[in-house]
Each structure stands twice: as C-alpha cells, then as structure tokens.
Homo-oligomer: A and B are copies of this chain.
C-alpha cells in the first residue's frame, strides 16, 4: 500500500444518523487503505444517566469509575463500534471492530495524576503496529473504539483523538521508509474556526508558532486544545500530514485539497 490514512470520526457525527451515513458513504468511495478511530458521542452519557450513574468530568475528560468503565465498554466497544462495522459491511467494506484489548492493539497504563484520580483512564504505552498491519494486509479495515487495556485484564478509557494520534505515529515510525501515514480528524465543523459561530472562518493552515498565538488569543480553546496537541505530537513523530476537517470532506481525501485546517510544524 502507498498511503495509509488514520481517520478519526467525532462523536457529534456519530450521534447524527444522517451525518454518519453520509460520512460512511464517502469513506466507502476511497481507494486507499485506512484505519478508522471513532469517538463515543452522547450515548454513553445518556446510558449513564438512565442507569443513575453520575458522569464526572475534569478538564473535559470523563472520570471513569467501574460503573462508567462498564458503560463505555458497552457503548463504545459494543453499540457504536458494531453499528459502524455493520454499516460499513453493508457498503461492501470488510470492516473489523477493535478495542485496544483485541489483538493487544493498544496497550495503556492507568493514568496516575498527583491531584486527580481519573479512574480507569489509560495513557497509551504501545500500539500493536505489526498486528494492525497484519489485519490490513489480510484485507480487514480496522475500526477502533476509544478503549485500551492494561495487559493485566483491565479495560481502560482512552480519548479517541489520542488513540488516532498514537496509532498514526506508531505506524509512521514503523513504516517510515516505505510510505506516508496521514492523520485526518473529521468532525461536524468545517475545520478550526477563527470565529466558532462562523463556519466560513476556517483557518486553512496552522503552524506550531501560529498555535501559540491562537491559544493566547483564546481562538483555540477547550476541547480543541488536546486535539491540536495530538496533531502536533503526530507530526513530531513522522506522520506526513494532519488535517482537521468536516466529516463530509472525507470523500476528497485522495485529492490534493481536502479542505479544513492543515496542521504543520512550521
């Protein structure tokens, strides 16, 4: 294979049946090899609420107690993952769903933090690159849920943006001489916006230097900060390109201009 795309699809798209179907239609039209990483969407929060489990967030990250771990394992690893896999199979693509435990694809360690106990949250330690590549070479298209495991039998909750960045980075480091690995963050917006209220205010290119300024001005804030950090981390670890773009732009992935915001080191 020439280029390999690691594509992350965000929770807001997953929550919208029509938007998800449109994204999957476009994904099915691609000729290149890809790995899809999906977010969780609101379903886990909704299920937790129905079960009377309180959802606690610290700095945009869910605190994962045992009950919440069971919920995200069910929703991300079961419901959402299988919904996407079945929908891709219906489009003639040989999708295969994975969590980090499956084939030991994503090994993580439980997060240790001096002041906050995040519970069953995993920081990625190792991506099973050879196993992912062996699946791709056998004709499977991996669809990865935002779950890792600790290798000791415990599932862990890991941010989907981070999983996408880690998978792309590990593949890029492994295959560096052979071909390019591209990371694409797809979500409901058109890209990184200068004005969050204005979908036409897409910033077409952001360097590491620009990023500093945009953060200081508060133009890049909240959930976009870890996404940008993940984007730069991938570029520093040999990923060829990173784009943050609208889910519907995925059909133009193999063209020169996919639109959205291109992240570059300099």
A interface residues (Cβ-Cβ under 8 A, vs B): 47, 50-51, 70, 73-79, 81-83, 85-87, 89-90, 94-99, 101-104, 131, 134-135, 138-140, 147, 149, 151-155
With A74-B75, A75-B78, A78-B74 known as contacts, the answer to whether A96 contacts B86 (CB < 8 A) is no
**Shortest Cβ distance from A77 into B: residue:** B78
Q: Please give the distance in Å from A65's CB to the nearest CB on chain B.
A: 15
Complex partner residue of A94 from B76, B96, B104, B147, CB under 8 angstroms: B104
Can you spell out 10 A-B residue pairs with CB atoms less than 8 angstroms apart?
Answer: A73-B79, A75-B78, A77-B78, A82-B99, A82-B102, A82-B155, A85-B101, A86-B101, A97-B101, A131-B140
| Contact indicator B90/A96 (Cβ below 8 Å) | no
- Extra 16 A-B pairs, beta carbons < 8 Å, given A95-B102, A131-B138: A47-B74, A73-B83, A74-B75, A74-B79, A77-B78, A77-B81, A78-B78, A83-B155, A85-B99, A85-B101, A86-B101, A86-B155, A87-B153, A89-B149, A90-B153, A97-B102
Query: In the docked arrangement, what's the CA distance between A87 and B139, Å?
Result: 27
Copies of this chain in its oligomeric complex: 2
Bound form: Cα–Cα A86–B149 in Å: 7
Q: Is the CB of A79 within 8 A of B70?
A: yes
Residues of B within 8 A of A97 (CB): 99, 101-102
Compute how far the CA of A139 lies from the CA of B131 in the bound complex, rounded to whole angstroms: 9
Q: Would you call A140 and B103 a contact (CB within 8 A)?
A: yes
When C-beta atoms are compared, the residue in chain B nearest to A143 turns out to be: B102
Contact partner of A135 (CB less than 8 A), chosen from B81, B89, B138, is B138
Q: How far is the CB of A113 from chain B (nearest CB, A)?
A: 23
The 8 closest A-B pairs by CB, nearest first: A78-B78, A74-B74, A90-B153, A74-B78, A77-B78, A86-B101, A96-B103, A96-B102
